[in-house]
Amino acid sequence: MAIVETVNLKKVYLLGKVAIEALKGVSLKVKEGEFLSILGPSGSGKSTLLNLIGALDKPTSGKVFIEGVDVSILDDNGLAELRRRIGFVFQFFNLIPRFTALENVELPMAIAGLSKMERRKRAIELLEIVGLADRANHKPTELSGGEQQRVAIARALANNPRFLLMDEPTGNVDSKNADEIMRLVRHLNEEKGVTIIMVTHDQRLAKEANRTVYMLDGLIVDEVVNKP
Ligand SMILES: Nc1ncnc2c1ncn2[C@@H]1O[C@H](COP(=O)(O)OP(=O)(O)OP(=O)(O)O)[C@@H](O)[C@H]1O
Ligand SMILES: [Mg+2]
């Protein structure tokens, strides 16, 4: 079964009297354990698609199925529960400035109701995985862009997500940090079996995925298998 499936997904944004068709009918299936990259120019609808898959926004028409469940039938509790099982990495990190790296990673576990001791232990483990155990007590402003992004990845992993949605995870970091993050992403996919959907502008990074879909003007226009 596909872990993620979208069926003829459309999204129209209304700005006053102007309607912007951000997605014009996107059908996509992602298999469990797959690493998929989404490549396409600015404005082609990549973030819109990712937000709909992550149930952060609702489509105008069409459907999203997560592990076979039609997301549109879920109530607020069901949606909150679903979002806890999805790891989301945003382009601009979205870390909480007054929290340390450790506290940022602990936050989703606090929301999920883990005890203080459990979440501290797991947050330290996660910071070790992303190579930042020695920065646990730094606030975001005291970290480089690449380090902040790695904290954001650790936070996305906090609740053991079955799949990870990443919007330009290397978009705001230099090439050395981008390579570091890609190593981590591959490790999560290959060693931990996490299903990954990654949006990127970068052709070179897109090729690291099993499969790449190309978006243009609200549609998937091409698809390439990099490594089966
Ligand atoms: N909240 C919104 N309200 C109105 N229009 C929006 C909104 N979000 C996105 N759009 C429009 O929808 C289209 C698709 O935007 P989207 O953010 O999905 O593109 P993208 O492929 O992620 O681009 P980028 O590579 O620049 O991040 C664009 O024309 C954009 O201007
Ligand atoms: Mg975007």
Tell which residue, 1, 153, 22, 10, has the closest CA to residue 66.
1
The answer, yes or no, to whether any atom of ligand 1 lies below 6 A from the CB of 48, is yes
The answer, yes or no, to whether any atom of ligand 1 lies below 6 A from the CB of 51, is no
What 3-state class would DSSP assign to 225? strand
Using 70 as the pLDDT threshold, list the residues of the chain that sit under it. none
Q: What pLDDT sits at residue 23?
A: 98
Q: What pLDDT sits at residue 5?
A: 97
Tell which residue, 79, 62, 59, 65, has the closest CA to residue 29.
65
Q: What pLDDT sits at residue 112?
A: 84
Half-sphere CA count of 37, side-chain side, radius 13 A: 25
State the Cα–Cα distance between residues 204 and 208, nearest whole angstrom. Answer: 7
State the Cα–Cα distance between residues 166 and 178, nearest whole angstrom. Answer: 13
CA 111 to ligand 1 center in whole angstroms: 29
Q: What pLDDT sits at residue 51?
A: 94
The answer, yes or no, to whether any atom of ligand 1 lies below 6 A from the CB of 47, is yes
CA 168 to ligand 2 center in whole angstroms: 8
The answer, yes or no, to whether any atom of ligand 1 lies below 6 A from the CB of 45, is yes
Phi, psi of 133 (to 5 degrees): -55, -35
Q: Tens digits of per-residue pLDDT, 168-221?
A: 988 777 788 788 888 888 988 999 899 999 999 888 889 999 999 999 999 999
Q: What pLDDT sits at residue 173?
A: 76
Parallel/antiparallel/unpaired status of strands 61-66 and 2-15: antiparallel
Which ligand 1 atom is nearest residue 23's CA?
14
State the average pLDDT for the chain: 92
What 3-state class would DSSP assign to 184? helix
The architecture of the domain spanning 2-225 is 3-Layer(aba) Sandwich (3.40)
Please give the distance of CA 160 from its chain centroid, rounded to a whole number.
13
State the Cα–Cα distance between residues 211 and 195, nearest whole angstrom. Answer: 12
Residues 197/202/205/210 CA torsion (nearest 10 deg): 50
Testing ligand 1's pocket by substitution, the residue of 47, 51, 53, 217 carrying the most ligand atoms inside 8 A of its CB is 47
Phi, psi of 171 (to 5 degrees): -65, -30
Contacts of 51 (CB under 8 A, 6+ apart): 57
